[in-house]
Structure 1
Amino acid sequence: MKVKKFILIIILFLSFLGIGSMLSNIQSNQADQLLEAYGLSNNTRYFKVQSKQTVGAFLRFLQKKYPKRKIQIHLASQHERNQTLIWSNHDVVTLPTENGRYFTRDDFKGKVSFAVLGQNARVKTLQVQNNQYVDLGNKYYTVIGTFKHYRQMKQNEYYLTTGPQQPTGRFKLQNYVIIIDSSVKISRQLAAHYGAKLKTPPFVKKHQNRKFSVVKEILLAIGLIIFAGSCNFFLALIDWETVKKTHLNGKLLLNWLVNRGIRIMLIELLLALAAYFFLCWRAFFSNTQHLLGLLLACWLLVSIAFTSSIFYLTRRSDPHA
């Protein structure tokens, strides 16, 4: 009996993990803050220019021409293949880091450039008194964070802030692919201003094609919920076998069933919370509150399944029911 219950409880835990993983897949594929795009949205476009102006001059132009429009710029280097410069005039999507943090709006305003690294960033770094720096030709940039390891992210890249007053703002614009996340209208205007051809990144096309392809994940999640409920039905059967062997009845039977039911529900609540913390550690969620709500809802449903099963078995065995 104990072995069977243990196996069913393990299966329930795996079901919770599976349900949470389905939500992770949905949020990874559908959220505007695409993980593949490092915080860029579905409006992202890109173009290349031959202008000899600096990155700082380009950003000053943006600030002057579009002072009230939200714009985020990623500048992918065409020579330093693993380097991307980032600038934004608003708070960017906070991306998950193994340690430290991702960039904030204030990081783009000052005179100092900061760095965030991929897990296996191909760039020279220097460790000084517990502080890490990116070393680019004896110019040093403080590392403020390292990304978590996710398959959607390129692990060998590194990211630097840029701004009109920052050292990276002196880099030449023609050495970078300009990736812009704003309204498509603004992207078209900028491309026309520089006489460039505006294009849609592959990750945006992929996202657009898969935007409504979440039926499989939803059906799998529903199937896992039903499967978890079935496990609780079998747990109820096991407890009922104990009742028949001990010949409990009346108040003793009621107290025993209540105690067993509360114990099972508490164990399963702990399993749901364990699944929540494990998934937050190992999977991507644009909103972890959705995960917590989903797992608690699943716990409630499987608890109802257990209670209903006990009630059904009790009524069936009562000749006066």
Structure 2
Amino acid sequence: MKFKKTILIIIIFLSFIGIGSMLSNVQSREADQLLEAYGLSNNTRYIEVKKDQEVRSFLTYLKKRFPHNKIQVHMTSKAKKNQTLVWSNHDVLKLPTESGRYFTKDDFKGRVSFAVLGLNAEVPTLKTQGNEYIYINKKYYTVIGTLKHYRQMKQNGYYLTTSPKQPTGKFKLRDYQIIIDSSNKVIQQIAKHYKVKAKTPVFVKNHQIHQFSIIREILFILLFLLVAAASNLLLAFMDWKTVKQTNLKGSLLRNWLINHGVRILLVELVTTFGAYLFLIWRKFVSKPQHLIWLLLISWIIISILYGLGILHLLRKEQNNAKTA
């Protein structure tokens, strides 16, 4: 009997591993989409402004008009396809770097423009006194990091911070395609102000086409949860058979079931925690809190089913006793 119970506990553990793996697959795919956008979310749109004004005028408008809204802007050069200007009024998504670091919110506040290179960036650079610089149009830009090689990311690109106070703020706005990551309301207001249409980037369209691809993962999560629930119901039935062999009655019977049930559920809680540690160790999990909640909810569900199974058998026994 103990061997069979151990097998069922192992099945529950493996089911929880399966549930967590499906979540990992979803988060991995979301991460790929973000990487394809170079740190932008799927709520990204782009506009093209043909007005003869500088980048700093556009950024000043954003800061004054939307002081409390989170906005991130990437401006891809039309002439230099590998150049991107980056500005944000909040901490941006940290892209993985081979060396150094990616931009932070503070990098957009000063008067100095910083640079992050793709692994094979096509731009003139020079090193002096242990520091690396990009040299463009008789201007030097301090390199603070080099991005890791990822299939989803452009390898020959380079990224420069921009702000109203920085040298890159003097670049002409019409020379760039403006990619904006913010709420739909903010993006539409910006587009209306400049009398242009906000369009959807290719990476967002691709994600929208495949947005229902998580249905497969959801179905597998439900399947693994069903297997775990069935295993727990079998454990309840086996515990009932064990207690019936003791010929316990009344309060003794209920106390035995409660004490033994609590021990089983605590063992399964430890099993759930073990599954979490295994998944964190072996799988990609970008949001551990989601994994914690998913496993915890799964444990609660199978625990409730275990209790309902015991309660059903107990009531059935009581009804049979009354009938007899």
TM class by shorter-chain length? Answer: 0.5 to 0.7
Q: Would the alpha carbon gap of residues 98 and 315 (structure 1) be closer, same or farther in structure 2, given more than 3 Å must change?
A: farther
- Please give the root-mean-square deviation of Cα atoms over the aligned residues, in Å: 4.8
Q: Does 1:142 align with 2:138?
A: no
Aligned to 2:59: 62
Q: 1:186 aligns with which of 160, 177, 190?
A: 190
Aligned-partner SS, 2:65: coil
Aligned-partner SS, 1:183: helix
How do residues 174-213 of structure 1 correspond to structure 2 at under 5 angstroms?
Answer: 177-181=177-181, 182-187=186-191, 190=194, 199-211=199-211
Q: Would the alpha carbon gap of residues 116 and 290 (structure 1) be closer, same or farther in structure 2, given more than 3 Å must change?
A: farther
Identical positions, percent:
45
Distance 1:58 1:42 in 2: 22
Residue 49 of structure 1: how far off its partner (Å): 7.1
Aligned to 2:228: 228
Deviations along 1:293-318, one digit per CA (max 9) or x if unpaired, are 33322211110111222333444556
Residue 44 of structure 1: how far off its partner (Å): 1.1
Aligned-partner SS, 2:180: strand
* Structure 2, unpaired ranges of 5+: none
TM-score, normalization by structure 1: 0.67
Q: Would the alpha carbon gap of residues 58 and 301 (structure 1) be closer, same or farther in structure 2, given more than 3 Å must change?
A: same
Distance 2:114 2:25 in 1: 31
Residue 186 of structure 1: how far off its partner (Å): 2.2
* Structure 1, unpaired ranges of 5+: none
Deviations along 1:137-165, one digit per CA (max 9) or x if unpaired, are 5853334x978x998x5385765433233
Residue 173 of structure 1: how far off its partner (Å): 6.4
| Contact kept? 1:29, 1:210, Cα under 8 Å | no
Distance 1:82 1:11 in 2: 51
Distance 1:221 1:297 in 2: 12
Q: Would the alpha carbon gap of residues 50 and 187 (structure 1) be closer, same or farther in structure 2, given more than 3 Å must change?
A: closer
Q: Would the alpha carbon gap of residues 238 and 101 (structure 1) be closer, same or farther in structure 2, given more than 3 Å must change?
A: farther
| Contact kept? 1:29, 1:207, Cα under 8 Å | no
Structure number with larger C-alpha Rg: 2
Q: Would the alpha carbon gap of residues 279 and 78 (structure 1) be closer, same or farther in structure 2, given more than 3 Å must change?
A: farther
Count of residue correspondences = 301
Residue 135 of structure 1: how far off its partner (Å): 4.9
